[in-house]
Amino acid sequence: MAGERNRIKAVLSGSPAEEAGIRPGDRLLTVDGNRITDVLDYMYYAYDAESAFTLERGGEEFTVRVCKEAGQDAGLDFEDYLMDGMRSCANNCVFCFVDQMPPGMRETLYFKDDDVRLSFLTGSYLTLTNMGAREVQRVIDLKISPINVSVHTMDPRLRCEMLGNKNAGRGIEILKKFARAGIELNCQIVCCPGLNDGRELDRTMRRLARLAPQVHSCSVIPVGLTKFREGLYPLKPFDRELARRTVRQVERFGERCLRRHGSRVFFCSDEMYLKAEMPIPPDRFYEGYPQLENGVGMLRLLYTEFEEALAEAEGPAKGARAAVATGVSAARTLAELRDLAKQKFPNINVEIIPIVNDFFGHTIDVAGLITGKDLIAQLKGRDLGGKVYITNRMLKDGENIFLDDVTVEEAARELGVPVIPMENGGEPLLEVFLS
């Protein structure tokens, strides 16, 4: 089976690989004499403009020259994307969201990945607890960068407790080793009241800041707690006052880092600002949005893009009645943007409807965790106009399926109007308002 994972499923038409004579069904063995064990080996050794690919076809080995621009993909699609299987998480984190999922959902939602290759390739976060010395050295040798690391605390004892893994403290030493080797690191701290907030958060930020500039950025995120926590570690949610103290604490430390390192390094997620009922900082605060996919600055970027699109928009708006369904946390922002657009286009007629998360519990208020059943239950019977728009973050990547396996088509049938997923960003949002 391991040998099948580097078998080539498809060769892109017109690609350097096709021109070299590589075919679907071939197995890639080496590049320039270096054995290919997974996708990182392939990407690293096949980077150069000209390489010797050794393959196996029908039991016979042969070698071809692949010529391309340096860094260009050769055009190969493998049977297994990673060529080595996905590595699962060995931790039992006290705050793990997967452990707070109800039974009966699709199997993929229960898989916990902790794979350094996915961190580099897709931006996922890993804990470093399941990396052996050989793999650590390979990351350094191949100069794999950036890597995204879930740190949570720089205290080895507390990290073992929070991650539920007696080896979790070792991840701190791996983090330091990567920093010394010049690997760029984006970190995150899931902040849990009573565990790693307050003074402990200060200590963690101080120790991480010593690793700057290799520690390029670090997000501070409030722990997400669903109603499915029976038998789990007794965690408390953030209230407004604690969120405010945490925002001020991180902003103060970020100012110190800005003076010393030329970067704030540490940023609270949008969710922390919303829980604190504090305004989202201005665009320049986010320094190019290094933690955008981790929910840091998404609302500010949305504002910025929306205002730019609005300044260039020409009317009039069609004025058709419609609805935008979103999470409770983002509803106020979308309503503010709609009202801003109405100053220029008064006939905009779009209602912003916050969907309360009855499925996971009301402490979960982001749009990406809204289920199809909650959407239907709270919209059915309402005057929605001609259509309902939702963010595509509510759906499985690349598919029209909600977390609970309700399809967009099923939701539309139940509601009696089209349900239309929309792209994220200020310009797509303005187009919805003007349509």
Mean pLDDT of the residues in the chain: 90
pLDDT (0 to 100) of residue 37: 82
pLDDT (0 to 100) of residue 82: 64
Other Cβ atoms less than 10 A from the Cβ of 265: the count is 26
Q: Assign 114 a pLDDT band (cuts: 50, 70, 90).
A: low
User: Can you list the positions of beta strands (E) in 12-146?
Assistant: 27-31, 34-35, 50-57, 60-67, 76-78
Percentage of the chain exceeding pLDDT 70: 93
CATH top-level class of 98-294: alpha beta
pLDDT (0 to 100) of residue 110: 56
Torsional sign, CA 352, 353, 357, 362: positive
Percentage of the chain exceeding pLDDT 90: 71
Mean pLDDT for the stretch of residues 127-152: 87
Mean pLDDT for the stretch of residues 381-393: 93
Q: State yes or no: pLDDT of 206 exceeds 80.
A: yes
Closest CA to 100 of 380, 386, 369: 369
Instruction: Point out the least confidently predicted range of 79-93, 193-207, 239-253, 285-299.
Output: 79-93
Residues 6+ apart with CB under 8 A from 5: 78, 79, 80, 82, 83, 84, 85
Architecture of domain 302-434: 3-Layer(aba) Sandwich (3.40)
Q: State yes or no: pLDDT of 21 exceeds 50.
A: yes
pLDDT (0 to 100) of residue 2: 43
| pTM for the model | 0.82
Backbone dihedral region for residue 34 (phi beyond 0: left; psi -120 to 50: alpha; all else: beta): beta
Q: Assign 1 a pLDDT band (cuts: 50, 70, 90).
A: very low
- Enumerate the H helices of 105-239 as residue ranges: 116-122, 133-141, 156-163, 170-180, 198-209
pLDDT (0 to 100) of residue 83: 64
Mean pLDDT for the stretch of residues 286-306: 94
Other Cβ atoms less than 10 A from the Cβ of 260: the count is 11
Q: Give ∠ CA 12-118-400 in degrees, rounded to 5.
A: 70
Q: DSSP characters for 295-313?
A: TSSHHHHHHHHHHHHHHH-
Q: State yes or no: pLDDT of 323 exceeds 80.
A: yes
Quick: pLDDT tens for 253-295.
999 999 999 999 999 999 999 999 999 999 999 999 999 988 9
Q: Assign 14 a pLDDT band (cuts: 50, 70, 90).
A: very high
Mean pLDDT for the stretch of residues 200-226: 96
Other Cβ atoms less than 10 A from the Cβ of 206: the count is 12
Residues 6+ apart with CB under 8 A from 14: 75
Q: Where are the chain's structural domains?
A: 2-78, 98-294, 302-434
Q: State yes or no: pLDDT of 158 exceeds 60.
A: yes
pLDDT (0 to 100) of residue 266: 98
Q: Does domain 2-78 have CATH number 2.30.42.10?
A: yes
418 prior amide bond cis, ω within 30:
no
pLDDT (0 to 100) of residue 293: 86
213 prior amide bond cis, ω within 30:
yes
CA distance 373 to 390: 14
Mean pLDDT for the stretch of residues 327-348: 94
Answer whether 403's CB lies under 8 Å from 369's CB. yes
